[in-house]
Structure 1
Amino acid sequence: MIGEQIAFHSTCCLSRLYRYRKSCTNLTTIKTFYNKLFKPSKVCLRNISLTTLQSQVESNSKLVVSFRRLSIFSVWVSFLVYAFSFAPGSFDMEWLRRLISNPFDSQVNSIFVFIFNGLGVLPALYSSLLLPREKEDSLKAWPFLVVSFFLGFFALGPYLVLRKPRYSCLNKEEYRPTLTENSWFRYSLLIFVIVLYLFSFKIFPLHSTRADHLPWDISLVAEWDKYLQLFHTDRLVHVSSIDFVILCLFLVEPLFEDMKLRGFFRNSVLLDRWLWIVSWIVPLIGPSIYLCTRPQWNNK
């Protein structure tokens, strides 16, 4: 009797163990079937989402580049037509000859002296920002930059329209060291800009050296009044002033690109943005200080 009970219980245990193993096998089969059926679809959906996101980013970047090119081209054409057709007054070549022979001629309005010399500094700033990254570019910047020393935005505008912006880091093969990376060039440019500010805005000495011996503030106001009159009556002053403003405004993108290529906007994003804005918004001296303080390029 006892032996029959033991045999019965053993049979029950074996049957339960068999059913348990069968259920585990069924669960494994179901799980394998589920993975084969749905996991590839998840991977496919993930790949599709990444591809879609990448295509959206590329389309948005192309849209931004197209809008930028259209904006610069519109400004260039408008300025070209306005300068030769609608600008007031006529060109005073006597002032041009004086400033070419002596960039700090005291007989010329000091505000216009600042603008005229600034039109020579701005191509140097553009060269410092654009030349190191143009080695692999199909469209070279240097011919436009050379002519821009004489024609300003008239010469540089087409290059700004056609060039391809770049925000990724440069490798060793793409980087080309130029004279603009030299410390002597950068600090000489900064010193010249500081002297230009001091002379043009009569910051030093504190009293005017003119024959009327007016104090600094009154003399500066008088210079501004005379400049505004010239702006409305002399075409050279009028066109040069607009040219100066346009070149200062469009310096913002090359400045941003150069900062990105040298490692800015990675850690202290807010501080770097403020540095970018301040370097751009203060004419001439802001970008010049940035050139003297920017880190040297390295291949790391």
Structure 2
Amino acid sequence: MKWTFFALLIYALFFATGQGGMEDPILQAFLSGEFGKLDPLVTMVFSFLGIFPFFWTALYFRSDQYAVPAWPFALLSFGLGAFALLPYLFFRKKEKKARPRVQNIGYALSSRWAMLTLLLITLFLYIYGLLFGSFIGYKEAFLQSSLVSVMTVDFLLLVIYSWWWIRKEAPGKEWLCFFPLSGALIACAISLRKDRQR
């Protein structure tokens, strides 16, 4: 898991397909607000990358009791995605504090209502992307845009990261990762419910 950070970094720097910077047509469409030019699948995945940080911030805040604080990595994930989350696995030490630093905030962010809200938004995005989007259109965007190329790899890594977390926190529920983001939200709700029953 840890070495996937370097794989993502190398891919983003040297192997990402399509145009980069302000020549990137998808980036231009996002910046100008011309969302009608974007394939709905592209919008779906891009939006997922905006929801994932809320999810990981809730989990990191809930269990932030290692020697190296988790909250800076969680907050940076809003802009950097897996680029910010994966390094934490390198820096985290096994020594634990008596209690998490910001546990109350973590539990608030991962509350039943917060997870339900994120899940409903995620399901809406699934409907929008899968019903109105095109895998051919997404492929074209992937080949044309460095942004789409990198965000796709970022998204896949976050799904793998979800599987790792689910295996650790909700054993036996690993199959939920086959439903990207929504499965992780459901697993979080299950884990939280178990914590409350202890």
Q: Which residue of 1 aligns with 2:16?
A: 87
Aligned to 1:287: 184
Question: Are 1:126 and 1:251, in contact at CA under 8 Å, matched by a contact in 2?
Answer: no
- C-alpha change, 1:181 and 1:81, in structure 2 (3 Å) is closer
What is the CA distance between 1:298 and its match in structure 2?
4.1
Distance in 2 (CA, whole Å) between partners of 1:144 and 1:185 is 21
TM-score, reference length from structure 2: 0.81
In the alignment, the residues of structure 1 paired with residue 72 and residue 142 of structure 2 have an alpha-carbon distance, to the nearest angstrom, of 30
Q: CA deviation at 1:225?
A: 0.8
Residue 122 to residue 76, structure 1, CA distance change in 2 (3 Å): same
Q: Cα RMSD over matched residues?
A: 2.8
Return the letter of the residue paired with 2:37. Answer: Q
Range 242-251 or range 86-95, more displaced: 86-95
Alpha-carbon separation, structure 1, partners of 2:115 and 2:31: 23
Q: Does 1:277 align with 2:188?
A: no
* Structure 1 unaligned blocks of 5 or more: 1-70, 203-207, 209-219, 260-271
Q: In the aligned structure 1, how far is the partner of 2:53 from the partner of 2:153? A: 15
Instruction: Indicate the structure (1 or 2) with the bigger Cα radius of gyration.
Output: 1
The runs of 5 or more residues in structure 2 that have no matched partner are none
Q: Which residue of 1 aligns with 2:156?
A: 245
Q: 3-state SS of the aligned residue for 1:256?
A: helix
Q: Is 1:297 paired with 2:195? A: yes
Q: Identity of aligned pairs, percent?
A: 24
Aligned to 2:57: 127
- Cα distance in 2, alignment partners of residues 76 and 156 from structure 1: 9
The structure 2 residue matched to 1:141, chosen from 62, 70, 74, is 70
Over 3 Å counting, the alpha-carbon distance change for 1:120 and 1:101 in structure 2 is farther
Moved over 6 A (4+): none
2:133 is the counterpart of 1:235: no
* Structure 2 counterpart of 1:226, one-letter code: G
Q: Is the Cα–Cα contact under 8 Å of residues 279 and 290 in structure 1 kept in the other structure? A: yes
Pair 83,128 (structure 1): closer, same or farther in 2 beyond 3 Å = same
* Counterparts of residues 70-85 of structure 1 (less than 5 Å): 71-73=1-3, 75-85=4-14
For 1:123, the aligned partner's letter is: P
Aligned to 2:45: 115
Q: CA-to-partner distance for each residue in 1:252-273, whole Å, 9 max, x for gaps?
A: 22233333xxxxxxxxxxxx51
Partner of 1:157: 86
Distance 2:122 2:32 in 1: 19
Partner of residue 181 from structure 1, selected from 105, 110, 115: 110
| Counterpart secondary structure, 1:174 | coil
- For these two proteins, the number of residue pairs brought into alignment is 191
TM-score of the aligned structures, taking structure 1 as reference length: 0.56
Specify which of 27, 41, 51 is matched with residue 96 of structure 1. 27
Which of the numbers 90, 98, 120 marks the counterpart of 1:191? 120
**Which structure exhibits the higher relative contact order, with contacts defined as CA atoms closer than 8 Å and separated by 6 or more residues?**
2
- Cα 1:299–1:278 change in 2 (3 A) is closer
Whether the 8 Å contact between 1:165 and 1:257 is mirrored in structure 2 is no
Q: 2-side partners of 1:160 and 1:123: how far apart?
A: 16
